[in-house]
Every structure is written in structure tokens, then in C-alpha cells.
Amino acid sequence: MHTSYQYPTSHALFARAQAHIPGGVNSPVRAFKSVGGQPVFMQRALGAYLYDADGNRYLDYINSWGPMILGHGHPEVVAAIQQQAAQALSFGAPTEAEILMAELVKSLVPNVELLRLVSSGTEACLSALRVARGYTGRNKLIKFTGCYHGHADPFLVKAGSGVATFGIQHVPGVTASTAADTLTADYNNLAQVAQLLADHPEQVAAIIIEPVAGNMGCVPPEPGFLAGLRQLCDQHGAVLIFDEVMTGFRLAPGGAQERLGIQADLLTFGKVIGGGLPVGAFGGKRAIMEQVAPLGSVYQAGTLSGNPVAVAAGYTTLRLLQQSPSIYQQLDQVGHQLREGLHQVLRQKGVAHTINQVGSMISVHFGEHRVTDFATAAACDIPLFNRLFHHLLGRGVYLPPSAYESWFLSTALTPAHIDQTLEAVASF
């Protein structure tokens, strides 16, 4: 394990990037703004490792923010992409591969009766919301503080991920009338949700939630919380949307729904469903999804939706997951080893901490208290996390550059990799 890295090429690239790209990055959290310093520019990746433009090597705990559940450069996924690329890159016309993908998703997530492919999680969530509104004829939406559902206007109210990382209270460009339709409650606070529904009778089209939150660090639902939301939606005629962009195909073949035993009306997917290429999807109950054009009149479209190369990557990834269900036990074991090891190392160092882990999603929060919602996540020692981030970066361990992001594990991480990581933490 290296002890310290230098980044002359990355720094030169960042200087160049800033002349042409807002903040030098194409997605804000990548800029290292909250952890300080300058971003590392990546060049290639294989298995559990990333290699930067300066030739430094890192154990990857981001895995492209979730998609690379099988690690980088899985030979079967790469072969499927190459094979499809040699056939055609894009048609803008239907293909059999899209049917195979829909059939596969439906077999993994049985309450998906109809599925529409899109190109990102953002698109999936904004489309699901539109469908829920079209189906119910209602405008309002309930979301949870610290949850992130992509960057469509209605979801940017009290959002997690980069919005929380940068402490943005109000996103300019989101109109007041749009924001007024978004009602917010604290994660794990069922009473607040019940109150919002009572205060806005027959106005709430949908409740959207990350069933295991990953955009304020990893925050699991408390026992009974999701079941309570299910019940409230049924009582009030609102559509329950599980945003499984992070959790889908990651926490179990059937995602958080399967792992936690609660069913939503609509599901949104991204990340793993694309296997590293841009694929998102939304689907669910037939009666709701029948609103989607051209079957119904809730309009939604996309030139690259169902793109054959992206679908080849996603389909192959999902097939590999389906064929080897033991992958999920392996990921749980690696997650468990990391959590227990971190507990031990941090306890020995006398550092107060909380670790939230659900399967291959995990995060370390520095503080005495449990982390169950955004307020408790925000009350943690963020500067300490930032110091740990840089300590590990310089020793070949790449964490998300924000305390408000979950770490994602891949099957390429071995027990030996975890031991190396713990050694690096021990030297903090």
C-alpha cells in the first residue's frame, strides 16, 4: 500500500477543465469542493481498482456511484458491449433486446408489470412522478429531506447528494410554484407524513422515497417505516414510488423491495441496470403504467431510450446477477467485514462514530448519535470525514468525496482488500 500520492497531471487537467466545463466537472460532487483539494482525474479501471492520470492506483469504494456492482471491466459485460457496438450503436427503433430486458427486470422484480427504459435515474424519477400525477389527477408530492431523486425541478427541494454537500438551500431556477407542490418530511418520521396527508386531502399524487437512503450517507429505514408509508398511500390514494436507482439489483436481485419485504406502486431504476452505461427505467403496476404514451397520454420519450449498446451492458450485468444469487451473500459478507473492521479500528482510536450498512451500501458518520435522517447526518463531524477522505486517498483508497454519499461495494473487493483498507484507516 502506497503511503502518499502526487497528482501533477490531475492538477494540470483540472486547471484545463475549469476553462471549459463549469467547475471543471460534469457532475458537481466530483469537484472535491466539500472535502477540499482538487479532484483526481481517472484514466482506467479494472476489477476493484481505479488508476488515475498520474498512475496512482486506488481501491474503489464508489464504483461509479453504484453501477459497477461486478467491479470494473467484467469480461462478459465488455464483450457484450463490443459485440453490440459492432452491430449497431443506435436505431431509434425498437429491438428485441429491449423486450429481453423488460422480461428480465419483471422476473427479478415481480410487481413490475410494465417497464419503460430511459437513459438515467433522473429521467426515471421525473417520468414516474409525471405518471403518478397523470394517474391520480393530483399535483402534490411528498419527498424526504436528504433524499435525492435526480435533478428534476420538483425533487430539488431539501435534496441530498450534491445539494446537501454544497449546503444549497434553494436552487435558483426552480420556480416557487414548482417548489410549492413538493412537501417534505423527515426520513423515518411517519407522523410527519400522516400530518402532511391530512393537511392536503386528496392533493398528494405520490410519496417518493429511497427505501434505503444513500444520498445523505447510507440511512436505512427504521422498522415499520416503509410499511407505514405503504399503508398511508393506500388510505389516501397516493402512489408509492420507491426510487431504487441505488438499491435496485444491488441489495437483492429484487432490490430493496425484496430485501425489506415492502412493495411500491412504481419503481425507478438507474445505475446497476445499465452496468456502467446510461440506462434508467421506471415501471410498476399495469393500471398506472398504462397512462404512459403511446398507450395513454402521459407523454415521455427519448432518442437514446433503450439504446442497444447500453441495454447490452445492463442486460448482461443483470443476467450475471441473476445467474449467481450467491453474489448477494458475498457482498453482504464484504460489507459486514468492512463494518466490523471499521468499528474495531475506530473504537481503538477512540473516535466516536456510527456505521450504517445495508448489504453493499455503507457509510461512516462521525458522532456519538445514531444517524436516522438528514438532521442527524448533518450533525456529524463532517471535517473529520473530509480528513479521513484525504488520508485514504493518499493511501490508495477512493471514498466518495462527500460525507453525504453512500459508499458502494463491488464483487471485485476481496477480504484482503478490506484488510488493506482497514490498515489505511488504522494509520489515520
Question: 271 an active-site residue?
Answer: yes
Residues pairing with 118 in the sheet: 280
Q: Is 123 in the site for ligand HOZ (CB under 6 A)?
A: no
> How far apart are the C-alpha atoms of 160 and 404, rounded to whole Å?
7
Q: How far is the CB of 341 from ligand HOZ (least distance, A)?
A: 25
**Is residue 165 close enough to count as binding ligand HOZ by CB under 6 A?**
no
Q: Is 65 in the site for ligand HOZ (CB under 6 A)?
A: yes
Are residues 266 and 128 in contact, defined by beta-carbon separation less than 8 angstroms?
yes
Interface with ligand HOZ in residues 135-154 (CB under 6 A): 148
Q: Which residue has the cell 431510450?
A: 305
Active site residue 148: yes
CB of 62 to ligand HOZ, least distance (A): 8
State yes or no: residue 168 binds ligand HOZ (CB under 6 A). no
Kindly report the three-state secondary structure assignment for every residue of 190-221: HHHHHHHHHHCCCCEEEEEECCCECCCCCECC
Any idea what the Cα angle at residue 190 is, between residues 237 and 254, rounded to 5°?
70
Catalytic residue, candidates 148, 315, 398, 404: 148
> Cell numbers of 396, please?
490508495
Phi, psi of 200 (to 5 degrees): -130, 65
Beta carbon of residue 350, minimum distance to ligand HOZ (angstroms, whole number): 31
| Binding range to ligand HOZ, per CB under 6 A, among 11-19, 24-32, 231-239, 294-302 | 24-32
Contact residue for ligand HOZ among 161, 188, 357, 421 (CB under 6 A): 161
DSSP string, 159-182: --HHHHHTT-SS-TTS-HHHHHTE
Q: With CB under 6 A, what is the number of residues at the site for ligand HOZ?
A: 8
Catalytic residue chosen out of the listed positions 60, 181, 243, 332: 243
61 included as an active-site residue: no
In the complex, the smallest distance separating the C-beta of residue 161 from ligand HOZ, rounded to whole angstroms, is 4
**Taking CB under 6 A as the criterion, which residues in 213-242 touch ligand HOZ?**
215
Q: Is 29 in the site for ligand HOZ (CB under 6 A)?
A: yes
Restricting to residues 284-343, name those near ligand HOZ by CB under 6 A.
none
Does position 30 bind ligand HOZ by CB under 6 A?
yes
Is residue 27 at the binding interface for ligand HOZ, with CB under 6 A as the rule? yes
Integer angstrom CA distances of residue 377 from 147, 159, 220, 367, 370:
12, 13, 12, 9, 9
Q: CA 396 to CA 21: how far, in whole Å?
A: 27
Residue 220: phi and psi, rounded to 5, are -80, 155
- Residue among 271, 328, 373, 404 flagged as catalytic: 271
- Beta strand extents in 293-420 (DSSP E only): 353-358, 361-366, 397-398, 407-408
CB-CB contact of 298 with 372 (8 Å): no
Which residues contact residue 312 at a Cβ distance below 8 angstroms, ignoring those fewer than 6 apart? Answer: 80, 81, 83, 84, 97
Residues 197-216 as x/- pattern, contact with ligand HOZ by CB under 6 A: ------------------x-
Toward ligand HOZ, which CB reaches closer, 314 or 341? 314
- Measured from the CB atom, the residue of 213 and 312 that comes closer to ligand HOZ is 213
Cα separation values, 120 from 126, 162, 273, 278, Å = 10, 17, 10, 6
Q: Is 73 helix (H, G, I), strand (E, B) or coil?
A: coil
Give, as ranges, the residues between 350 and 409 that touch ligand HOZ (CB under 6 A): 405
Interface segment toward ligand HOZ; rule CB under 6 A; list 23-31, 323-331, 384-392, 420-428: 23-31
Q: How far is the CB of 406 from ligand HOZ (least distance, A)?
A: 8
Q: Which residues belong to the active site? A: 148, 243, 271
Site residues (vs ligand HOZ, CB under 6 A): 27, 29-30, 65, 148, 161, 215, 405
